[in-house]
Amino acid sequence: MMTVGRLKCVNPKSHRRGVQKLLNAIAEKSGKSRGDIVIAYEEDVSVYAVRVWFTRPIPPKHWKLLSEKSGLGIEEIKEIARRHWVGI
């Protein structure tokens, strides 16, 4: 019996590249070397929690800040966060 609400990544490499692109844009715009550290500081979450985004979807509560920090639109952030995830 399948559990309702579980997600599976259908293309982990592409998801990882998308998240890395997002973190690189944040680092470049902030003038820092690490985007994950910038977000961890701004959102008051651990760097570990941000790095988990490489293997899990990015939570919607962070999309607005990510959009502001990276210069990408909310729809682009949503695309990066959810494109490769399907419910099982």
What is the per-residue pLDDT across 22-40, written as a single tens digit (0 to 9) for each?
999 999 999 999 999 999 8
Residues 6+ apart with CB under 8 A from 68: none
What is the Cα 87 distance to its own chain's centre? 18
Inter-axis angle of helices 12-30 and 74-82, to 10 degrees? Answer: 150
Domain extent listing, the chain:
29-87
What is the per-residue pLDDT across 46-78, written as a single tens digit (0 to 9) for each?
999 999 999 999 999 999 999 999 999 999 999
Contact between residue 51 and residue 37 where contact means Cβ atoms under 8 Å apart: no
pTM, to two decimals? 0.85
d(CA 43, CA 7): 24
HSE-CB for 28 with a 13 A CA cutoff: 9
